[in-house]
Amino acid sequence: MSVFLGSCINRNREITVDMPTGIDSVYHARGFNISYFDNYISVDIRDPWDTLKMRQKYILVDKDSILPANLPEGVIIRIPVERAVIYTSVHTALAEQMGVLDKVVGVCEPEYIISKSVLDKIEEGKIEDLGSSTSPNIERIMDIKSEIIIASPFENSGYGVAEKLGIPIVEAADYMESHPLGRAEWIRFYGLLFGERGKADSMFFAVVQNYNRLKQLTAEVGKRPTVMLERKYGASWFVPSGDSYIGTIHADAGADYIFSNYRDSGNTPLSFETVLDKGVHADYWLFKYDTKRDMTYSDLADEYPPYRNFDPFKNKKIYICNTILTPYYDDITLHPDWILEDLIYIYHPNLLPGHQMKYYQKMK
């Protein structure tokens, strides 16, 4: 459907502007919107570091149709995609959960992948190991005839030589969403790419229902225990901001996050002294790590002796998540409700009697 803008005349030639035939409601995500036109779908991606700007526009056109004339400016992707390269283990897991793993022909950094199905396909040569996501094997990406590359963008950073290949790069900025359900909603965009709109929508709305059911359990808790998150690396302690999806999910679990006043969607680097001053008397301490064996209090003290000053260390109230041995990163994008369940059980075990934690465990 088109409309004529009578006031837009260029040397007596009328300019036509397509008007959408439908617009998907986006319920929690802030980073994209979807509009449907007669012959294509438009997906606009906002710049997560400057939300007043658009970072990219994708024009999705059915493979079986003739490419329409006068398409708007944007990155054209013929759908459904049948050969995708994925840079991150997180989005590889999404493809598997959506049932389109057979359409993934290459991945980066398989050492971070814990899915046996994906690892088996790499071993069998059905999925190509493309090396590091910062310097992938460009020749192999060309050889395997990838139709798209799915990669996570970073501020003031590009994709190097991959940008010159002529292969559409899908900028998967879901990790910059401020709400866990906002991050999960990006599967609706990915579903369009792989021709799985109905399945992706159903998966998302099921997650929303379960997440909100769990969140309601903590709506009227009398005491919200204080919690500190993560640990220092090098000279800085990178704490999730209160506006991040991590800060939000802990609040929804009924905790009082000690840095909830930091208003940003990413991480904030702080000195150890700043965290100690704010968190010395926290009730709980939760962090993620990635070693082949379970971390202990002794390991933590050996890593940095001043950790002993925190009350959660003294009171043995540290909970840890080993991201090598658990599917935390596989599930955090699409199933924040499963993560939320663990967190509620830690902070308010009486609300979920008998729950078996899947991601976190009490440090020994």
* Spatial CA neighbour of 336 closest among 223, 252, 237: 252
pLDDT beyond 50 at 279: yes
Q: Which residues contact 110 (CB under 8 A, 6 or more apart)?
A: 89, 118, 119, 122, 129
- pLDDT (0 to 100) of residue 6: 35
pLDDT of 224? 98
Residue with the larger pLDDT of the pair 165 and 267: 165
49: tokens are 């570091």
* pLDDT, tens digit (0-9, with 9 covering 90-100), for 60-99: 999 999 999 989 999 999 999 999 999 999 999 999 999 9
**Exposure b/e, 133-142, CB count within 10 A at least 16 = b:** beebbeebbe
Task: Give Rg (Cα) of the chain.
Answer: 23
The predicted model gives 312-319 an average pLDDT of: 98
Tokens of 351: 């609300």
Listed range (7-16, 103-112, 156-165, 291-300) with the worst mean pLDDT: 7-16
CA distances from 153 to 49, 146, 335 (A): 11, 19, 22
Q: Which parts of the chain are beta strand (E)?
A: 2-10, 13-18, 22-23, 32-36, 41-47, 50-62, 75-79, 84-86, 104-107, 128-129, 148-151, 169-171, 226-229, 232-233, 236-240, 256-257, 267-270, 284-289, 318-322, 360-362
For the stretch 31-54, pLDDT in tens is 999 999 999 999 999 999 998 899
DSSP letter, residue 119: H
Q: What is the pLDDT of residue 18?
A: 73
Q: In Å, how far are 127, 158, 284 from 140, measured between CA atoms?
A: 11, 20, 47
Q: pLDDT tens for residues 219-255?
A: 999 999 999 999 999 999 999 999 899 999 999 999 9
Cross-strand partners of 219: none
If you average pLDDT over residues 292-319, what whole number do you get? 97
Give the tens place of pLDDT for each residue, 189-207. Answer: 999 999 999 999 999 999 9
Question: Can you tell me whether residue 62 is helix, strand or coil?
Answer: strand
Distance (Å, whole) CA 239 – CA 157: 22
Q: How confident is the model at residue 19 (pLDDT cuts 50, 70, 90)?
A: confident
The DSSP code for 102 is G
Helix axis angle for 89-97 and 116-123, nearest 10°, is 100
Q: State the pLDDT at residue 156.
A: 87
**Domain coordinates of the chain in residue numbers?**
1-77, 219-362
pLDDT of residue 266: 73
Per cent of the chain over pLDDT 90 is: 89
Per the structure block, which two tokens stand in for 58? 């994708």
**pLDDT for residue 1 is more than 60:** no
CATH topology of domain 219-362: Rossmann fold (3.40.50)
Residues 6+ apart with CB under 8 A from 205: none
What is the average pLDDT score of the chain? 93
pLDDT for the residue numbered 12: 40
Give me the residue label for tokens 């959506």.
98
Cis bond upstream, residue 80 (ω within 30):
yes
Spell out the alpha helix ranges (H) of 290-335.
Answer: 297-303, 311-314, 328-331
The neighbour count for residue 307, using CB atoms within 10 Å, is: 19
pLDDT tier at 21 (50, 70, 90 boundaries)?
confident
Q: Tell me, what amino acid is at 330?
A: D
User: Which tokens go with 157?
Assistant: 């950073």
pLDDT score, position 17: 53
For residue 61, give every residue at least 6 positions away whose Cβ sits within 8 Å of its Cβ, in sequence order, or none. 39, 40, 41, 67, 68, 71, 76, 77, 78, 79
* CB neighbours of residue 10 within 10 Å: 7
Contact 334, 97 (CB under 8 A): yes
> What local confidence, expressed as pLDDT, does residue 22 receive?
79
